[in-house]
Amino acid sequence: MGKALGIGAALLLAACGRTTIPPTRDAAGFPLPDRPVAGIVSAAWSNEADRERAGESMAVIGAAGVRPGMTVADIGAGEGYYTLALSKAVGAQGKVFAEDIVPSYVSALRRRLRDARIENVELIQGAPDDAKLPAGHFDRIFLVHMYHEISQPYGLLWRLRPALKPGGRIVIVDADRPTARHGTPPRLLACELATAGYRSVDRRDMPEAGGYLAMFEAAGEAPAPATIRPCRP
């Protein structure tokens, strides 16, 4: 009797639309990740003095092939460690778009840029599934130590494609560990990027940044959202 009542209650809840099964796709039809998503815990991955002593930004920016005059984006800019380094690397003739989804981080970075009198950076308040970058602008788009925190990676990656110039590249730096532990295994990263319509062009160890660097280019036509299937760890 108890088992029958349990089944009946479950069917009633389902009929009333009160199931506890979470959605597997967002409103635009993109799949949600089939893996843990790490929480955003800070505006910085590590303190800037230690990062500079390790030569992190110089190593990453050099490996990514950033040159003066380029237009680049810093997704999940936080306190702006890479934003400031990229501003210097692209020079007065280049431009940096610094994006974050946390309003307080954007406000704090705006004050920092103002105090430092940096004029070649534009700030963007983004969304978890859309960095809101202008189309056709970018030579490089950086996602550094934050990919594992993206709650809607497939939608975000899909919407980054139009922002790239021909030959433009997505540059991702992360640690080789599970996403729940604030990293992304390289094979999982490659799978998610491929599923969203990118091909791998480079991957190398990046000890200065505490992990690895991977670069991707858009490949072929963008997949229809409904055809994208989530990767598993």
Domain-embedded: residue 117: yes
Alpha-carbon gap, residue 72 to 188, rounded angstroms? 25
Look at residues 117, 114, 82 and name the one whose alpha carbon lies nearest to residue 97: 82
Domain-embedded: residue 199: yes
Cross-strand pairs, 199: 217
Domain-embedded: residue 61: yes
In this prediction, residue 4 has a pLDDT band, given cuts at 50, 70 and 90, of very low
Domain-embedded: residue 12: no
Domain-embedded: residue 191: yes
The residue range of the domain holding 88 is: 26-227
Q: What pLDDT is stored for residue 46 in this prediction?
A: 59
30: three-class secondary structure by DSSP? coil
Tally of CA atoms within 13 A in the half-sphere of 228 that contains its CB: 31
Domain-embedded: residue 8: no
Check whether 69 has a pLDDT greater than 60. Answer: yes
**CATH number (domain holding residue 131):** 3.40.50.150
Look at residues 233, 231, 224 and name the one whose alpha carbon lies nearest to residue 30: 224
DSSP class per residue in 66-82: --TT-EEEEET-TT-HH
In this prediction, residue 44 has a pLDDT band, given cuts at 50, 70 and 90, of low
Domain-embedded: residue 107: yes
Q: What pLDDT is stored for residue 49 in this prediction?
A: 81
- pTM beyond 0.85: the answer is yes
Count of structural domains within the chain: 1
Q: Which residues contact 85 (CB under 8 A, 6 or more apart)?
A: 57, 58, 61
Domain-embedded: residue 17: no
User: Which two tokens mark 103?
Assistant: 């309003």
pLDDT tens digits, one per residue of 94-105: 999 999 999 999
